Amino acid sequence: MKNKNEKLNKGGETAMENRVKSDKITKRVWWLILFLLVFYFLSSTNIAFAISGGIGSFSFGPVYGTNFSDMNKLLDKKGFSTASPFGIQWGGVGFGIIKNIIVGGEGYVFFVLPQPEAKDLKVSFGGALGTFNLGYVVYNTKSFILHPFIGIGAGSNSITVQERTAETIQFDEELLEGKKLKESRVSRGIFALSLGLGGDLLTLGKRTDEGFAGLILGFRLGYIFEPFGSKWKIGNSEEKGIPSSFSLSRIFFNITIGGGGVAW
């Protein structure tokens, strides 16, 4: 009788987990549809004259993670420090403009700020990402360019445990299903989509009736969505103890500093 009840309870928990997972996937799909509709609206609302050129920039700024809650519950339960939803990302952006059509890419390294340490340890989330981007200039003057963009790409996420002394150590054997581990870093590959809005201010440089060349300052505001990824691994070994709902999907606001040229 006991075994039968245990099986029923386990079956109920599995069904509930599947429903929760399905609901989360549905929400992510709706977010993606919303992003695409916003991109279409901004692209179709065109009040810009035709320009061509190219811009390359260094990009950096804060991010806000949106899918940390399940992972933080596990960390807190095991006595580890949880991760703040806030972090930093930095990298590079480059794109060409052909009659207002934008083609380019960007790449970032990022990390999430840890909360106060527990058990003399701290847990950090981080990773890297690269995307291929398409966009369109929807508004411009001879000093400013505004453009929505959408990107598709791939990268990696990682979770690392460190001592207060900053010496990298082993994961606690409790955290990941009782395994005694030889490494302190768990990682996985991810597929990513991004949608955002970029603005570029043509500042110092040579400006003529034909165009501009010089220093360009700007911003990028948007959302990086990680709908799925590979299994979490330690070396070549798969790790099942990390919640499947955990990802580093995030809202970002970046400042860009670079240069280039634009012809009108």
User: 153-171, pLDDT tens digit by residue?
Assistant: 999 888 877 655 544 444 4
Non-local (6+) Cβ contacts of 37 within 8 A are none
Token pair listed for 6: 């245990």
- pTM for the model stands at 0.72
CA 81 to the chain's CA centroid? 22
Query: Given the DSSP bridges, would you call strands 237-238 and 250-263 parallel, antiparallel or unpaired?
Result: unpaired
Q: How many residues does the chain have?
A: 264
Per-residue pLDDT of the chain (264 residues; tens, 9 = 90+): 545 555 545 455 455 555 655 666 666 666 667 666 665 665 555 567 888 999 999 999 999 887 777 777 877 777 777 777 888 999 999 999 999 999 999 999 988 876 665 556 667 788 899 999 999 998 888 899 999 999 999 998 888 776 555 444 444 444 555 444 444 677 888 899 998 999 999 998 888 888 899 999 999 999 998 887 788 777 677 777 777 667 788 899 999 999 999 998
214-230 per-residue burial string, b: 16 or more CB within 10 A, e: under 16: eebbbbbebbbbbeebe
DSSP 138: -
Could you tell me the CA-to-CA distances from 118 to 75, 81, 263 in Å, in that order? 10, 5, 56
CATH code assigned at 82: 2.40.160.20
Alpha helices in the chain (DSSP H): 2-44, 69-77
Q: Which of 64, 63, 83, 61 is nearest to 72 (CA)?
A: 83
Give the chain's domain count: 1
Strand partners, 254: 220
Residue range(s) defining the domain that contains residue 144 = 2-263
